[in-house]
Amino acid sequence: MRLRFLADANLDARIIRGLKRRQPEIDFQRAEEASLIGRSDAEVLKIAADLNRVLVTHDQRTMPAHFAAFVTSHPSPGVILVSQETSLVAAIDELLLIWSASQAEDWRDRLVWIPL
């Protein structure tokens, strides 16, 4: 199955715009569309799982611990943490590579950092 993304509320929107500009068919849902604004990490992970979307976030401080707790009792489509220090171009390139070279099943219950 093709990979589908979900942006956390803190993800730089320019990443999504840049990805869609380069590959319009990428399925990347915005936080607002999934009602993620103001929700806890645990709720965001549950919504991403319910929607079967890999969560993309900048939240390196709290998300890893919440993800580790979440996957002990729920399956997760996965989480990609984009470092704030990563340039927009590098983040877009790496997400595009992930999308084009893998399937959704490859990310199940995985947490990875960009840059890879």
Q: pLDDT tens, 42-83?
A: 999 999 999 999 999 999 999 999 999 999 999 999 999 999
Cβ partners under 8 Å of residue 62, min gap 6: 41
Q: How confident is the model at residue 27 (pLDDT cuts 50, 70, 90)?
A: very high
CA atoms within 13 A on the CB side of 35: 5
Question: Exposed, middle or buried, 82 (CB in 10 Å: 0-12/13-18/19+)?
Answer: buried
Nearest to 7 by CA among 92, 102, 116, 100: 92
The per-residue pLDDT for 29 is 97
So what CATH class is 5-114?
Answer: alpha beta
The per-residue pLDDT for 116 is 75
Q: How confident is the model at residue 1 (pLDDT cuts 50, 70, 90)?
A: confident
Structural domain spans, the chain? 5-114
What is the average per-residue pLDDT within 2-26? 96
